[in-house]
Amino acid sequence: MQWLALELLVGLALLAGGRGDVVERMTAGVVEQLDQERSRLAEDPDEYARLVAAECRGFPEGDLFPYTLPVLAWAGLTSGDRNAADLARMERLLELAEKPVAKRTSAPEGRLDRLENYRDQATYLCQLNLAAAAFVAAGGKGHFAELHDKLSEVILSDLEKAAGRPLNSFPSYTWPFDTVPCLLSVADHVVPDSDLAAVPRGTPARGLEEEQAEGNARGGAGLSRRVQAVLDLHLAWVEESGLDRDTSLPVSRVTPQASTASEGPRGCDLSWRLALLEPIAPETARRWYKRYVKAFWVERVAVAGFREWPEGVGRKADVDSGPIVLGIGGAATALGIASAQVFNDELRLARLVPQVETTHQAIAEKVRDGEAAMPGLPVKLRADRYTGFLYGDVVLFHALTWGRTAKLFRGRR
């Protein structure tokens, strides 16, 4: 009942104040709270690492995203007087992220700059490189700028060898989503024109219409010939081999060897994949986003959001989806804010952003007297976390700021 009352109050505010302005103010207010708390935690890296180990280990890449996602957020927020402090925080969290990535990839002597290939670890290596790319775009220099150059060459070479097929997320698993951060992380990698790609540039590969390829190239102007080549080939592979028949949306999982679909579209994948794809392939991303909204968007009386599974697929929540309430996926909806921002989808932002605050209020009420369990989460909700849990806070911080960070990836090429 309290939730519904809050939604009605928010709705009246939107009508009275102009939808776009109110949503922008709400976003800024939540971001400020999340920013202040992330900044405080980053001042003591050892303590933050302890909290991450204690509170995030039950989540996907719980030893990685709590470090890399705030870096992406700060890259979009930093400017002027706060730049030096933000870069210092970003560097501290990159140092914490470097350790699990080196361990995952079995880097020689623990040094990622000595890797010669991605070791079938696209998830960890490319997310770190993406965060390093954001750090560099925000003005960062030194070790992580040099490491970014090195890893970009390694990743780009492996993308060329894959000839459009997705890189393996892990040695035994391939989620095509993970190839998109790889592509975005190398978007700024520039080499002499004489250093041609292993894959010929030529005309668009099969399955990618020329008009679509040209639109992507215009939107992501400035990509090197090598990066544009592997991007075109990967999008062509998705169009030809990686789309679900019923929804015409990208599938979420393929077999590592044959690269044939083994799991259909998922909301947590698509909300994030489309947000990350937009800066380098805007035409394709927008086309898929329209399909995504049509097939996955859910409107209820008091809440709205994205499904985790296509309508009619009766699968339950898992660690990737987060809680599913009234058919609405927690992860898909939170990350859907990032997609709605880059596609300037004011209608969905006007539904999603106010729900962030009402959800926060509902959680605060639930944990007023201490911790509380939440179905679908591997940790208990806490009063000192905006979303009730640390992992949720870093994901939300990233989602609410991606519209700003994405501009760095569009503008620097």
On the question of pLDDT at 310 being above 60, the answer is yes
Half-sphere CA count of 285, side-chain side, radius 13 A: 27
Token pair, residue 346, equals 């004011």
Number of H helices, E strands in the chain: 15, 6
d(CA 325, CA 2): 17
pLDDT of 376 reads 74
pLDDT digits (tens, 9 = 90+) for 108-155: 999 999 999 999 999 999 999 999 999 999 999 999 999 999 999 999
pLDDT for the residue 29: 95
Report the run of H or E that residue 259 belongs to, with start and end: none
pLDDT at 8 over 80: no
Between β-strands 304-306 and 297-299, what pairing exists: parallel, antiparallel or unpaired?
Answer: antiparallel
Quote the pLDDT of residue 191.
Answer: 59
Q: How far is CA 340 from CA 184, 217, 399, in A?
A: 18, 22, 10
Average pLDDT of 371-383?
Answer: 86
- Residue with the bigger pLDDT between 314 and 412: it is 314
**Closest by Cα among 340, 227, 210, 346 to 283:** 210
Length of the chain: 413
3-state secondary structure of 301: coil
287: number of Cβ within 10 Å: 15
Q: Residue 395 pLDDT more than 80?
A: yes
- Residue 193 has a pLDDT of 47
Q: Would you state the pLDDT for residue 206?
A: 44
Whether the predicted pLDDT of 18 surpasses 60: no
Q: Is 250 helix (H, G, I), strand (E, B) or coil?
A: strand
The better pLDDT of the pair 279, 202 is held by: 279
Q: Where are the alpha helices (DSSP H) in 105-195?
A: 122-137, 143-162, 179-185
What would the mean pLDDT of 258-270 be, rounded to a whole number? 89
- When pLDDT is averaged across residues 352-365 and rounded to a whole number, the result is 92
Q: Measure Cα distances from 129 to 74, 94, 406 in Å.
A: 15, 10, 15
- In angstroms, the CA 178 to CA 169 distance is 6
Asked if 327 contacts 267 with a C-beta cutoff of 8 angstroms, the reply is: no
Instruction: Give the side-chain half-sphere CA count within 13 A for 337.
Output: 25
Q: How confident is the model at residue 313 (pLDDT cuts 50, 70, 90)?
A: confident
| Encoded amino acid at 373, one letter | A
What is the percent of the chain where pLDDT is above 70?
86
Q: Is the pLDDT of residue 320 over 60?
A: yes
Q: Give me the pLDDT at residue 298, please.
A: 96
Residue 188 has pLDDT above 60, yes or no: yes
Give CA 366 to chain center in angstroms.
28
Interacting residues of 147 by C-beta distance below 8 A, sequence separation 6+? 98, 112, 113, 132
Confidence bin at 218 (pLDDT 50/70/90): very low
From the list 273, 283, 275, 278, the residue with the least C-alpha distance to 251 is 273
Average pLDDT along the chain: 89
- Indicate the pTM of the whole model: 0.90
Taking every pair of C-alpha atoms in the chain, what is the biggest distance, in angstroms?
Answer: 66
Strands 324-325 and 328-329: antiparallel
Task: Write the pLDDT tens digit of every residue in 50-97.
Answer: 999 999 999 999 999 999 999 999 999 999 889 999 999 999 999 999
List the one residue out of 309, 376, 339 whose CA is nearest residue 180.
339
Closest CA to 89 of 50, 42, 36: 42
Cα–Cα distance measured from residue 55 to residue 264, given in angstroms and rounded to the nearest whole number: 30
Say if residues 56 and 118 touch (Cβ distance below 8 Å): no
Task: Say whether domain 2-411 belongs to CATH 3.40.190.
Answer: no
Residue 213 in tokens: 């390829």
What's the pLDDT score for residue 7?
43
Work out the average pLDDT over 161-179. Answer: 97
Q: What is the mean pLDDT of residues 196-211?
A: 44
